[in-house]
């Protein structure tokens, strides 16, 4: 920073994060309810604060500089702290008596919501969370107010719509899982993908809802089998039961595999990855919400509580 009025306001933090997603001053201005001239002046002010262009014109879009790209995770953490402070200022979480509606699949329920729920309920014992299954209308539900929050992942990293905000929780990857007494489970070292392909696959096939990207993700991450499909299922939580009854393998997120292995006789295989291995596909879950809820202090607190749970994971070095 240049030392000249180096303080950064919450509004400027929100502006920078939004522009980093939209790459458009016009769309950013629309999402913030401001004029393009106003956000242009705001960009000039933050450029002075950081003594960096932050965004440069690239065709019809605003491309972030290397400095801006490095700032994004820091700004996300700062926003979470501000939201937590603001929500604490307005109310005691113990006084929340409300039903929150969240959309997620069963993988996110097991690995994300259940991870954060104990800490949330300790501070807000009367909170109620109602989970809705994906139906292809996630963005529309957030805009209409039917949904408060959702867990989301786009493998292609496409920007969210200008009126939808998001914060990545952590970065992870996919793994191969088999039953404990599977022939590959006793191998002394890493197994090759070719060895895995010799066994049938328990394949996850989610409903092909328009606008959902999860189906494509699972197609990408499954190692192609040479022994055929053992069974296809639309539910993550059915995967371990199929594995326990067969010599099949399944591909799932590391977090889900660890939860299953803690309760069932299952093993995460140590697989030597091919250079173009589908297992190199990352899983970067994000919590998303509509800009309308930025003034909802109860929802701010819930978001901050979820984010804090996984920031603790980051601080402890638990990311895959």
128-171 pLDDT, tens digit per residue, is 999 998 888 888 999 888 899 999 887 777 788 888 998 889 88
Give pTM, 2 decimals. Answer: 0.68
Beta-carbon count within 10 A of 41 CB: 11
Structural domains of the chain, with CATH: 10-85 (1.10.10.10), 93-170+285-316 (3.40.190.10), 172-283 (3.40.190.290)
pLDDT tens, residue by residue, 258-302: 999 999 999 999 999 888 887 888 888 999 999 888 778 889 889
State the sign of the Cα–Cα–Cα–Cα dihedral 140, 145, 151, 157.
positive
pLDDT tens, residue by residue, 177-189: 999 999 999 998 8
């Amino acid at each position: 920073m240049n030392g000249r009025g180096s303080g950064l306001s919450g509004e400027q933090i929100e502006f920078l994060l939004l522009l980093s997603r939209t790459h458009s001053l016009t769309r950013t201005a629309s999402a913030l309810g401001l004029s393009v001239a106003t956000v242009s002046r705001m960009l000039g002010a933050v450029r002075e604060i950081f003594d960096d262009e932050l965004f440069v014109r690239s065709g019809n879009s605003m491309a972030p500089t290397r400095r801006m790209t490095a700032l994004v995770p820091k700004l996300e953490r700062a926003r979470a702290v501000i939201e937590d402070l603001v929500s604490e200022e307005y109310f005691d979480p113990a006084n929340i008596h409300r039903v929150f509606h969240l959309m997620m699949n069963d993988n996110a329920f097991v690995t994300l919501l259940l991870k954060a729920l104990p800490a949330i309920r300790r501070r807000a014992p009367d909170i109620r969370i109602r989970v809705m299954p994906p139906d292809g209308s996630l963005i529309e539900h957030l805009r209409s107010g039917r949904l408060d929050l959702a867990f989301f992942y786009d493998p292609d990293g496409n920007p969210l719509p200008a009126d939808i905000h998001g914060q990545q929780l952590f970065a992870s990857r996919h793994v191969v899982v088999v039953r404990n007494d599977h022939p590959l489970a006793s191998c002394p070292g890493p197994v090759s993908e070719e060895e895995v392909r010799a066994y049938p696959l328990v394949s996850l096939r989610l409903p092909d809802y328009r606008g959902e990207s999860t189906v494509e993700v699972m197609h990408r991450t499954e190692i192609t089998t040479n022994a055929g499909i053992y069974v296809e299922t639309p539910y993550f939580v059915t995967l371990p039961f199929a594995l326990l009854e067969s010599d099949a393998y399944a591909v799932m997120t590391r977090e889900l595999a660890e939860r299953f292995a803690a309760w069932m006789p299952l093993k995460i295989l140590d697989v030597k990855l091919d250079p173009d291995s589908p297992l190199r596909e990352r899983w970067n879950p994000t919590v998303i919400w509509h800009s309308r809820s930025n003034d909802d202090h109860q929802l701010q607190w819930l978001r901050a509580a979820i984010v804090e749970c996984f920031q603790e994971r980051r601080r402890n070095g638990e990311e895959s």
